[in-house]
Chains A and B, each alone.
Chain A
């Protein structure tokens, strides 16, 4: 985003700066197009890998693959129903298509096509979708606040919400090694680099305790793990020790690790996600705990059940409580 002039309060006035605003903070370490490069790497050793998109190759980092393997790239036009139907057909013939679009178009526009042609027939299609949750200031048309709820509800579907570039690079070969349909949220462009500092390795279906702490357990996925780690750092200054459990695989959920960590007594459990508080990781964890008879104090951080505003991402993340400052503030309030 860029600032234009200033508001009467003296704060810089932020603009939406198009839908491709980067989620990386200024000065943050990043890596360009991790998905595109990882897919090229994968395709070198697997000839069945294909790339497909619906007029969003450049905006899902698939153009990197298209340049490396032009004859294995299918531009299907701005037609998401066709994109997923055709991906199913190619999978039926033995290929492994990676199909990309924005998360809103896969989850909302093409849901039935993914349900019937891919999931019901258990076809080996990998769906990678940009602009997950609130990562665009473009308004509800481009804000995929419901995608995890929708794809969690779909039988056969594996659902993944990665945190950073380091993780995306590992997810690509991991989901290729898994036979079956996968929906993964995609961070594209200059993608933050966070987890390499935590000796982290992605494992499909596994949660990872990134840091331990006695006062609070933050269970998080996607970019909210980055926020949780930053919040934990800042809470430390107030002598609050926060553990952070990263859960990149939303389905199937790593119930064992979540129950083990949430079952440790005396900690407030907070689930943080870049998704509506309805039907995502928070409610999945809540249901798991209830079914298992584990009853810690429990709070949710997530997007409200409303159509979100258009605007600059930092403004919106603050307004809807998912910025690092807001995550920290809410936790402090709950601990008072």
Chain B
């Protein structure tokens, strides 16, 4: 279950650090990857999997689970890191990341990986599927919820706005979306590609319940998830999480070009050590 009851259960901070560690280890296997995103979203994933969501590690397709839809498929490394921490994927598979015959391809696909609910890769797909799943859960009178993560860059895609209108129209209060606002996309800062602010005003005007937080402040993330889940109005819920690319590894936080990172072999150890120093609970 998502909520540990044992007194010695890992804290959310430890979970987040482990997710970062898993992502760095997978990055080291390939020598490159969307590492900075995995580091920036680790706190949100820790709260999603170990505070908010209901799931069974031994039965990832359990009907009563909450669904997590990763819309930005290139964040797969981050979700694999969380699925390993959650025990849904064996830790040993970490070594296979991105290799032939692996269940952990570079871009997230439902047909490959237990715990993956959709195939991403091209952007702007997730929220539309989430609308359909949320409608389906309501038809089944299921108490399960849809969580979906997408990135600020995906707001450029018109399909996102179709789905944003639709979720409000259908009063999908079982849908909780998280936008990772790290202000970075392939060609540069997101806000310079296609301006999307003021985001909270827009989403509220579109009929959503919205919370904007520092996505790397664990207490704030927990508060936002709690508020989103407890909100009484029949509205879809959006958590706008401002995050820092490379969070937790100072020399990666400071890299200017960090959309797709190549790390020199000796740097991986440095990154892992930085993680341990910077994030002791």
Contact = CB atoms under 8 A, between A and B. Distances in A.
Interface of A: 74, 76-77, 79, 81-82, 84-95, 97, 112-113, 116-117, 120-122
Contact of B159 (A82, A94, A122): A82
Contacts of A86: 128-129, 131-132, 135, 163, 166
Given A81-B128, A81-B159, A85-B128, A117 B119 contact: yes
A88 B163 CA distance: 13
Given A81-B162, A82-B159, A89 B130 contact: yes
Given A89-B129, A120-B109, A120-B111, A82 B163 contact: yes
B159 A113 contact: yes
Given A86-B166, A90-B139, A116-B122, 5 more contacts: A85-B125, A85-B159, A86-B163, A87-B132, A120-B111
Contacts, number: 96
Nearest to A93: B136
Interface of B: 109-111, 117-122, 124-125, 127-137, 139-140, 158-159, 162-163, 165-166, 169
Contacts of B121: 116
B128 A89 contact: yes
Given A76-B166, A86-B166, A117 B125 contact: yes
Contacts of A77: 162, 165-166, 169
A79 B129 contact: no
Contacts of B169: 77
A94 B140 contact: yes
Given A89-B129, A90-B132, A117-B119, A82 B109 contact: no
B136 A94 contact: yes
B159 A93 contact: no
A247 B248 CA distance: 61
B162 A116 contact: no
B136 A89 contact: yes
A265 B254 CA distance: 75
Contacts of A85: 125, 127-129, 131-132, 159, 163
B117 A92 contact: yes
Nearest to A110: B159
A88 B128 CA distance: 9
5 contacts: A81-B124, A85-B163, A86-B131, A89-B132, A94-B140
Contacts of B118: 88, 92, 117, 121
Nearest to B67: A92
A189 B159 CA distance: 30
A87 B118 CA distance: 13
Contacts of B124: 81
A116 B125 contact: yes
Contact of A79 (B130, B135, B140, B166): B166
A87 B166 CA distance: 13
Given A93-B139, A112-B122, A116-B121, A88 B162 contact: no
